[in-house]
Amino acid sequence: MKDYPVLFNDAMVRAYRAGRKTQMRLPVPDQPGDGIDAQHGDDLRNRAPYEIRDDEDEYVGMGFRDDDRWWKSPFGGPGDRLWVRECWRMGGSYSDLTMKQLAEDLWAISTVQENHLHYRADEPERAKDTKWRPSIHMPKWACRTFLPVLDVRVERIQDITEEDAIAEGMREMVSADLKSGWGAGDVTPPPPTSGYTYRNAFRRTWDTIYATKCFGWDANPLVWVGKFKSP
């Protein structure tokens, strides 16, 4: 079993902890050529990635290949775990300690773990008036959420189904203009006349993150899909 880090924003953390998020999608970096679909029978979505092994035949992850090149899964494979990096801080007298200072004081790390860890997803009212540490800088010892991986696959982003979008944590936020995304609160079915779908909500949310990075919905990039166990 291997552990792989993933970044969650506050809304994604809340959606997971509420039991509404059991899937995650990430673009395949350095996208393969257009022929990759045909090479895999035009059915990448239903084709499981291969095991990747090193020269000593040790398992190093899951992936797929295009001719002589491997693309490695950022989620590992079934039986591996994802550890969630989220915005966080240390409380009390530890709030201003640097990671270097903590690394030199194992007792301090133990004390912080037991009594002084705070997560922004739990304190939305303090999101702007408190100094938080970025999720990318969260060390593994500060992580509170480990996700057992159940399945990994590759597909085009537009292959996502309505059921998949729900599993991504999409929901209607209760508002006049039917804003959607990973917001907190109870799921309220949209009016039948609204034209709302969870898939469209996912499309809008995806583009807010990836449209400016050349991985937008209209480009229909290949993405890794990780499915993990609910809390």
Residues 74 and 91 grouped into a single domain = no
pLDDT for 180 equals 52
Residues 80 and 93 grouped into a single domain = no
Task: Evaluate whether residue 140 is within a structural domain.
Answer: no
pTM: 0.82
Task: Evaluate whether residue 29 is within a structural domain.
Answer: yes
Q: Report helix, strand or coil for 230.
A: coil
DSSP alpha helix (H) spans, the chain: 10-17, 36-39, 99-103, 106-115, 162-167, 198-210
Residues 76 and 102 grouped into a single domain = no
Q: Sign of dihedral through CA atoms 197, 200, 204, 205?
A: positive
> Residue 72 is part of which domain span?
3-84+145-228
Which of residues 141 and 179 earns the better pLDDT score? 141
- Written as six digits, the tokens of 160 are 């996502």
DSSP state letter for 67: T
Rounded-to-10 torsion of CA 128, 131, 135, 137? 160
Q: pLDDT (tens digit, 9 = 90+) per residue, 192-225?
A: 556 677 888 889 889 989 999 999 999 999 999 9
Task: Evaluate whether residue 139 is within a structural domain.
Answer: no
Residues 11 and 104 grouped into a single domain = no
Q: What are phi and psi of 48, to 5 degrees?
A: -70, 140
Provide the number of structural domains found in the chain. 2
